Structure 1
Amino acid sequence: MAVFDSFRFVHLIAPRPLLMIVGREAVTSWMSVEAFQNARAPKELHWLDGASHVDLYDKEPYVGLAVEKLTDFFRAQLADTE
C-alpha cells in the first residue's frame, strides 16, 4: 500500500518564511501542529479561535481574519529590504 507523508519534507521549506493559519476547532489542527513542529524557522503558527477547517474557506469573520493575517505576513516577508 502506498502512503504519502506530506509532512516528511516540511523542514525543506526553510529558509523561506512559513505561515500556518489554523482554526482552533479544526479536526485536522493536529496536522498543522505536527507540521509546524517539524518546520524550521522562520515560521509562525496563527490560531483563529472558534474556526473549523472549512470555516476558513468562506465564513466571516474567519476569512477576513485570515486575510488580514496573510496581508501582514506578506507585507513583512516580501517587503523591499533595500
Structure 2
Amino acid sequence: MSRIKEEDDRIDNKVYEHRVLRHLSQAQLAEAVGVSKQTILVMEKGNYSPSLMLAFRLADYFGIEITDLFTYRKGEK
C-alpha cells in the first residue's frame, strides 16, 4: 500500500472567478478581507493556500459556502 504524501495534496480555489464576476480589482478584494493585493494575486495563481480564517472571510465576503470557493484535492499533482 502506498501512502499519499502531503505535498501531493492541493487546494484549488475560485477566487478569481468570483472577484471578476463582482467587477472587483485585486486591491479592492484585498482591502475588503484585510490582506495585501499580493496575497490575492498568489492565491488566484494557485501558489498560496490561505489560512482557514482567510478562507472563511473570503467565502463570507462573497456570500457563498467555503466549499463553493475552495476545493481540497488529495494526492493530486
Higher relative contact order (CA 8 A, sep 6+): 2
Which one has the largest radius of gyration? Answer: 1
TM-score by length of 1: 0.24
Determine which structure has the larger strand proportion and give its number: 1
TM-score computed with the length of structure 2 as normaliser: 0.25
